Amino acid sequence: MYKSKLSDHLILILGSVLMIGPVLIVFLTSTHDAVEVHRFGLMASWGDHFTETYNKVLFKEGGFTGQVTGVRMLINSLILGIGFGIGKIVLSMLAAYAIVYFRFRMGTFFFWVIFTTLLLPLEVRIMPSYEVVQQLGMLNSYSGMIVPLLASATGTFYFRQFFKSVPDELLEAARIDGAGPFKFFIDILVPTSKTMIAAIFIIMFVYGWNQYLWPMMMTNDEAHFTLVRGIKQILLVWVGSQIPEYNEAFALAVLAMLPPVLVVLIFQSWFIKGLTESDK
């Protein structure tokens, strides 16, 4: 077995400091008040405005119309993240299931069509997408923010590769055991893919959580603001003769970081399994 050396630890410690350092500074800065931050810049010490700032950020109603609190934005972001995660998994699993297990005409062709959509990211097709959603009357709704982006070439590709590696005999055994296509999918394929599902859920959750451009185009009422937009908004709204509430922006940034970190921490063992181990 490989015996870890001091130098290995040094490299890891250095990496950790590089990664965690900025986050820590953001957090510490957010505990000072805006004036201090404005005068002295980033802080490496603990200020005494922690409760005050976070309370305000989470519960004070802000924005032009005064309807949106931090909690609201957090919930919106969660809806987006979870909606993306679950929606993309369901859709891409079903697509991959069809491609791998059903012999329909031009199945491979359709797979490559789906795959080439990777070459057309959202930014390229944002105007037509907007047009479609608008005509469907889905502006200013969660479904408008989520549904148009659910089709996932990446997810379909990963699930296709995974399903292809599942031994044929498993399907055959299930067929002999009286499982039809639906039962096989629910009883056998979904449970055997669970590490894969966890891995893709993390990726898609973070992807949804970090969406900025699309939600901004889809919604203009503040009740649909997400955290990522909220950070920007704080700096915009109070810009003028006033000092921007840097501390609040930092606090919001810290809050925006927490859920993805939690998701990764909770799913990480599955995530690693999903990417490395095949348990079939």
Of 216, 233, 208, 232, nearest in space to 130 by CA: 216
In whole angstroms, how large is the CA radius of gyration of the chain? 23
Q: Kindly indicate which of the ranges 54-62, 81-89, 131-139, 179-187 contains the residues binding other proteins, using the contact rule CB under 8 A.
A: 179-187
Q: Is 18 an interacting residue with respect to other proteins (CB under 8 A)?
A: no
Which member of 41, 128, 178, 240 binds other proteins (CB under 8 A)?
178
114: enclosing H helix or E strand: helix 107-116
Which member of 128, 137, 167, 240 binds other proteins (CB under 8 A)?
167
Which member of 38, 56, 183, 232 binds other proteins (CB under 8 A)?
183
Residue 68 CA to residue 11 CA, distance in Å, equals 44
Q: Is 169 an interacting residue with respect to other proteins (CB under 8 A)?
A: yes
Note the residue count of the chain: 280
Enumerate residues 6+ apart whose C-beta is below 8 A from 38. Answer: 243, 244, 246
Residue 205 CA to residue 80 CA, distance in Å, equals 8
Whole-number minimum distance, CB 186 to other proteins, in Å?
12
Q: Is 194 an interacting residue with respect to other proteins (CB under 8 A)?
A: yes
Residue 127, Cβ density class (10 Å: 0-12 exposed, 13-18 middle, ≥19 buried): exposed
Which member of 8, 61, 131, 172 binds other proteins (CB under 8 A)?
172
Q: Is 187 an interacting residue with respect to other proteins (CB under 8 A)?
A: yes
Whole-number minimum distance, CB 93 to other proteins, in Å?
16
Q: Is 173 an interacting residue with respect to other proteins (CB under 8 A)?
A: yes
Q: Which residues bind other proteins (CB under 8 A)?
A: 167, 169-170, 172-179, 183, 187-188, 191-192, 194, 279-280
